[in-house]
Amino acid sequence: MKQTAVFLMLLGATLCAEAKEMPKVQTQAKTDASVLAPAAFKQPNRIYIENGRIAKAVADTQSIQLDPDKSTGSLYFIPLTKEQSSIFIISESGETHAVTISPKERLIAQTIALKDTKLPNPRSQLSSNDQSALPYEERVQRILRAIPSLSHEHAEVLKGTITDGYLIGNPVAAWRLLGLRLERYHLMNQTQETLQIREADFYRRGVVAVATESTSLKPKASADLWIIREDAS
C-alpha cells in the first residue's frame, strides 16, 4: 500500500496534556546514550520522546519522584534532593535513554525532549492486549499511523458505497483494530469540475474520525478515504 499523506480531523478530540507550556531542553540520544539536563528542584518537570512514547522509566525513588502519563506517553518527575540522579527511559521502540538530572533551586519547571534514532513499527502498536486501557483519541491516532503498514490479508469485506452528493466512494476493505473499525473507500470524481473533499461531509452516527490522502480531486481523479467508526460487533 502506498504511503498516504493523511489529513486528519478528529471529532472533539484533543491531547490537552501536550499543550502544557514549559521551557524545553532539546536532546537527541543514540541507544544507551546519556543526557545531562537541568530540572527544577521540588517542582514537576516533564520528559517526552518527540517521535515516540515512553514505555518504562526507572529511577531511585529516594531521589526522584516519577509520575508516568500513560495517556500521552510522557513522564513527569520531581527531584527530591539537590544531588544529581539518573532516570533511565525506555521507549516503545526499545531504545534506552539515560537522563542525568541536575536539580536547580532557582529554576522553573523544565521539559526535556528526547528523540529516538529508530522509529517503532506502527503495526506493532495495534497489538495491545488491554485495548480498553488506551484513551479513545490515542487508539484513533495509532490506527491512523498504522495505515501504510496494513495488510489486506487480514482485512474484512466492505460493502456499500458512500457519497457526499458528488463524490462516490467505492468500498475497498475494513479492519477491526483496538476496539474500533477502520474502513477504506476509493473516492472518484466523476464530474467535469475539481471538487473539494470535506471530511465533515462523511461524518455519520458512529463515525469518530475521517482521513483522506488529498483535499481536492480533479475531474476523473481518485483518492483513498479512511473512516474510523465505533465497532458495533
Are residues 125 and 90 located together in one domain of the fold?
Answer: no
CA 233 vs CA 59, 152, 175, 176, 179: distances in Å: 43, 20, 12, 10, 9
Q: How many domains does the chain have?
A: 2
In a domain, 159, yes or no: yes
Q: How far is CA 46 from the centre of its chain?
A: 18
Residue bearing the bigger pLDDT, 133 or 48: 48
Phi, then psi, of 201 in degrees rounded to 5:
-70, -15
Cβ–Cβ under 8 Å, residues 33 and 95: no
Parent domain of 100 = 18-114
What CATH number is given to the structural domain containing 89? 2.60.40.1550
Closest by CA position to 225, among listed 164, 177, 155:
164
In a domain, 11, yes or no: no
**Lowest-confidence range among 28-32, 148-152, 162-166?**
28-32
- Give yes or no for residue 154 having a pLDDT over 80: no
- What is the per-residue pLDDT for 112? 92
Are residues 129 and 215 located together in one domain of the fold?
Answer: yes
- What is the per-residue pLDDT for 5? 37
Are residues 190 and 212 located together in one domain of the fold?
Answer: yes
- Give yes or no for residue 156 having a pLDDT over 80: yes
Looking at residues 19-28, what average pLDDT do you find? Answer: 44
Are residues 100 and 64 located together in one domain of the fold?
Answer: yes
Instruction: Please report which confidence band the pLDDT of residue 1 belongs to, taking 50, 70 and 90 as the band edges.
Output: very low
- Give yes or no for residue 28 having a pLDDT over 70: no
Mean pLDDT of the chain, nearest integer:
78
In a domain, 191, yes or no: yes
Looking at residues 195-209, what average pLDDT do you find? Answer: 86
Q: Which of 92, 114, 136 is where one domain is finished?
A: 114
In a domain, 3, yes or no: no
- Give yes or no for residue 25 having a pLDDT over 70: no
Residue bearing the bigger pLDDT, 62 or 126: 62
- What is the per-residue pLDDT for 127? 56
Q: How far is CA 85 from the centre of its chain?
A: 30
Neighbours of 46 (CB within 10 A): 21
Share of the chain above pLDDT 90, in %: 24
In a domain, 97, yes or no: yes
Looking at residues 74-81, what average pLDDT do you find? Answer: 94
Q: How far apart are CA 32 and CA 34, in angstroms?
A: 7
Quick: pLDDT tens for 85-99. 999 998 887 888 899
- Give yes or no for residue 83 having a pLDDT over 50: yes
